[in-house]
Amino acid sequence: MLEHTFCHLPGIDILEEAKLWDQGILHWEEYRELLKEKVKDPSDMHSRLLLDSLDFSRKEMDRKNWDYFFFALPNQQKWRLFPIIRENLLYLDIETSGLGSTDFVTVVGTYDGKNFKTYLRGRNMDDFPEELSNSHVFVTYNGAAFDVPFLEREFGRKFKNRHLDLMYILRSLGIKGGLKGSEKALGIKRDLPYEVNGADAVRLWWQYVQYDDQDALDLLLKYNKEDVVNLELLFIKAYNLKIKDTRFFGEVITETQS
């Protein structure tokens, strides 16, 4: 999808981009050939700027400099990066002891599309920032307002990783109701003995701490894993819905739940 994208170029918004698509200009290379003809007119400075910007986009894509596209793309269009940065995505969800200013992170779950990892308070949570790479792109649900600030307070540092918050992508599709509501709206089912929510996660943590209840801990960790792994499936479904609104609906991603 990124190579069909023109709305990151100077002076081109999504309406101008749609006009190019309607004219049959569907790929960077096609637009480049058109611009090469236009720049033969030395007075056409805008076409020269567009051509230079397009060539720069190709260069940065070949370098896998995704920071450039995070900067250049409008916020509402960053979803287009999904297929090309997929190997850099780190799905992330946390559990906490509560929602107050003195509460803390109890569980951090991460998933890179292949491997799921749990960081548990009192065991290995300090490994989380050590094992995090600057190239990781966080994918969360409402993580910009909740998960990342909580983590930054927990570890006393700022995380400078790029971030895609699925809540906003899903809301742009009219899908609301929180993470669980979004899953239900998109037909994603959970493999848990009963429906667990955020308040239950807090209760399960304290039940484990106060009574050494291993069953409570096991359920908490399984709940967190469902939260994290389902983020990938949510992103796939959201991406496919987004791309179906373009003329590139043939490039949908196969939905496979890990």
CATH assignment of the domain containing 137 = 3.30.420.10
**In this structure, are 103 and 194 located in the same domain?**
yes
pLDDT tens-digit series, residues 201-257: 999 999 999 999 999 999 999 999 999 999 999 999 999 999 998 989 888 998 764
| Residue at 158 is within a domain | yes
Instruction: For residue 212, count CB atoms less than 10 angstroms from its CB and return exposed for 0-12, middle for 13-18, buried for 19 or more.
Output: exposed
Sheet holding 137-140, edge to edge: 116-120, 105-111, 89-96, 137-140, 163-165
pLDDT of residue 105: 98
**In this structure, are 62 and 175 located in the same domain?**
no
**In this structure, are 49 and 129 located in the same domain?**
no
- Please count the structural domains in the chain: 2
Domain end, chosen from 17, 50, 75, is at: 75
| Residue at 81 is within a domain | no
Q: What is the domain extent for residue 107?
A: 86-245
Q: What is the pTM of this model?
A: 0.94
**In this structure, are 96 and 52 located in the same domain?**
no
Domain end, chosen from 56, 75, 94, is at: 75
| Residue at 257 is within a domain | no
| Residue at 35 is within a domain | yes
Mean pLDDT of the 56-61 span: 97
Whole-number Å distance between alpha carbons of 213 and 203: 11
**In this structure, are 152 and 199 located in the same domain?**
yes
**In this structure, are 67 and 107 located in the same domain?**
no
